[in-house]
Amino acid sequence: MTGPRVEVYGVRHHGPGSARALRAALEDYGPDAVLIEGPPEADPIVGLAADPGMVPPVALLAYSPAADGDDRKAAFWPFAEFSPEWQAVRHALAAGAAVRFCDLPAANQLVPAADGPQDAPAGAEASGEDAMRLDPLGLLAEAAGYDDTERWWDDVVEHRHDGPSPFPAIAEAMTELRERVTAPPEDAAGAPPGYRRREEQREAHMRRTLRRALKDGYGRVAVVCGAWHVPALLAKVPAARDDRTLRGLPKVKVATTWVPWTHGRLAGRSGYGAGVRSPGWYQHLFTAPDRPVERWLTAAARVLREEGLHVSSAHVIEAVRLAEALAALRGRPLAGLDEVTEAARAVLCEGAELPVGLIRRRLVVGERLGAVPERTPMVPLQRDLQAEQRRLRLRPSASGKEQDLDLRKPTDLDRSRLLHRLRLLEVDWGVPSESRSKGTFRETWTLEWRPEFDVELIEASAWGTTVRGAATARAEALAASAEALADLTSVAERCLLADLGGALPAVMGALADRAAVDTDVARLMAAMPALVRALRYGDVRGTSTGPLRTVVDGLVVRVCVGLPPALTGLDDDAARDLLGHIDAVHGALALLGDEGHVERWRRTLEGVLARPAALHGLVEGRLTRLLHDAGRLGDVPDRMARAVSVGAAPGRAAAWVEGFLSGGGLLLVHDEALLRLVDGWISGLPAGSFTDVLPLLRRTFGAFGAAERRAVGERVRRLGGGAEAPRPAGDGLDADRAAPAAATALAILGWKESS
């Protein structure tokens, strides 16, 4: 009778060749138990990997539900279809073998560091920080004459299809490396302090798990781990030593679940230390082992055709030939990503980089989002969000998609409310963008689901078990902690957009109390636009806005009373800042449409304008324009004439003109009298004064649109010089005045009139 047998397979965490070779090795070996590098807390839910609803890429999520605030820790262990660990799990479940994870428990790895930086869980992506790991494969690649670890590993492992198992050679190479590098230096590959200690703990726990599996009576045990750990698992280390290494390790309470993952997060650029630069390429190599180059370039051509680019079958054939020729010249067993990319750039994209970027985004990285089955453990808030997504037919996607919502439709209105509620919970699945419609009945959102949203939902579950309830509690907390009036108005606006009637009484109470004691007119004016928008959108959304209207009514009165003294004695910066508030309030009151408030506001501006000596030129000019547009002033040409008269300082005159014209230049196009005044003032400025005011004038006219500037220029050309009479009819050329200049030009050119 033979004793128990152990096989250790050293893999790269995400590699199609490793995954394919491991699957074949496990089928030949037929283990009774498979131990996989990962958190042991996930053992109870590993069986979900066999569910048809589990579609990689997915990730194991371990988090500490008992932590509060910033102390919360979470980590992910991602799996793609081409991950060797995923193939090991699927094989074991299909074959009826036991599956256990053997890495150091997440309960130990997620303990907050008490003295220095916390090591990220190995094989996992730690939330908010980069995973830093020693890269032994880089040393082997360098010894083989490669300057790129990824390229070397692809050539020796990932591009292999048939042949002997690579795992004995990998184990031998790792053993030799560990003998030569007995202790990784503190700065090796960016390894953080404590790296060696944490690696010893991890390997001790792997050996302990292996001993337990053998003690449980499993005759054939397979261990799947990172290649670097193979020699440590094969070493004869006494159990007592491992027990001493693991004794007394601090731990926290941990919960685990499965969450969807994306290829984009698997890419090396995501900050995941064990990631790969090209998950889409690796997925292709795993799913299309026969003629992968031809299939890849055909897919690239399809992507380009979908964007309207002309790519023929002849292009694809020529690109395949070029990729294979490059691989042969470089001594590679198969054309790799570098070769197919260069071939696509030269042939399919004709040297253009923009189409290459499209191929890289769509194929090399990919836009794949995984899925988990319904029976996956979730917090109630996640369940509620999933139910809302199904009800509103909003399917999460890893690629950014634009969603245009018509708020007059019940379904779109509910979608908008859901997205606004999630933003209150800091789950920015939807980001609002500028709507193509000018009406208040439409919203445009960009929807892009990211895996970390699951962690944010778990954190937000402290506020409630439903999205609506959690958002209501979160809004009330924001209102209670708000320090500025503008913060409170923002919360009120968000409550109305999210239809959180339960939070409005508390928010409105805090807002009314703060507005009643705030004496800063600028802050009161800054708060008003958001409140008015909330009133208007509240009407569109059918939400109650009675308490908010009371606050707005009080703010209008207080702003009108406090504005005149606030406008005296302003310097340039203060005048420009307050002018922005004036424009915002003016627009908000026009949007509100309350004639009583509009009339009060206009009378306030008229009273301020009656004392021009106390006003900054910028403010006086802008108020004149606002009242002129409202039809409340009949002497605007006289006011401009006084402002730009000879006795006025050029700087103040330029500020007056800037304020007057800041609403746009069409007024000058249609009012010739005002245009003549501005033209005459500019034409009459002395040289020194013109130089001083030129920057102000350029800022004023530079803000106009190109069509407005062109129209003003045409009008000035027809005015004549300054305020003088129009130019002669015809083409405007004065032959007598032009004759001397023409004669001089002809003389320079050497032209002589023929006799």
Nearest to residue 428, comparing CAs of 406, 400, 408? 400
3-state secondary structure 550-584: HHHHHHHHHHHHHHHHHCCCCCHHHHHHHHHHHHH
- Give the pLDDT score at 720: 61
- Give the pLDDT score at 182: 53
Q: How far is CA 322 from CA 154, 551, 571, 638, 712, in A?
A: 19, 71, 68, 77, 58
Please state, as a whole number, how many other Cβ atoms lie within 10 Å of the Cβ of residue 648. 16
Maximum alpha-carbon separation in the chain:
128
Strands 74-79 and 58-63, sheet pairing = antiparallel
* Residue 704 near residue 712 (C-beta atoms within 8 A): yes
Please state, as a whole number, how many other Cβ atoms lie within 10 Å of the Cβ of residue 186. 11
Paired with 447 in beta bridges are 401, 430
Classified as helix, coil or strand, 36 is strand
Q: How far is CA 711 from CA 184, 580, 716, in A?
A: 72, 27, 9
- Give the pLDDT score at 81: 92
- Give the pLDDT score at 272: 37
- Give the pLDDT score at 215: 92
- Give the pLDDT score at 728: 43
Structure tokens at 674: 């005002």
Strands 430-433 and 442-447, sheet pairing = antiparallel
* Residue 359 near residue 301 (C-beta atoms within 8 A): no
Strands 430-433 and 74-79, sheet pairing = unpaired
Q: Which spans in 330-437 are helix H?
A: 337-343, 353-359, 380-392, 410-424
- Give the pLDDT score at 135: 64
- Give the pLDDT score at 186: 41
- Give the pLDDT score at 435: 56
Mean per-residue pLDDT pooled into runs of 10, the chain (755 residues): 77 85 92 95 94 92 64 80 94 95 92 52 44 58 78 77 81 83 46 69 94 92 92 91 92 90 70 63 85 92 92 94 92 86 93 91 85 90 92 88 88 92 93 65 88 86 89 90 81 84 81 76 81 68 65 82 84 86 87 86 88 82 83 78 73 79 72 74 73 74 77 77 43 74 81 57
Structure tokens at 138: 């880089």
- Give the pLDDT score at 340: 93
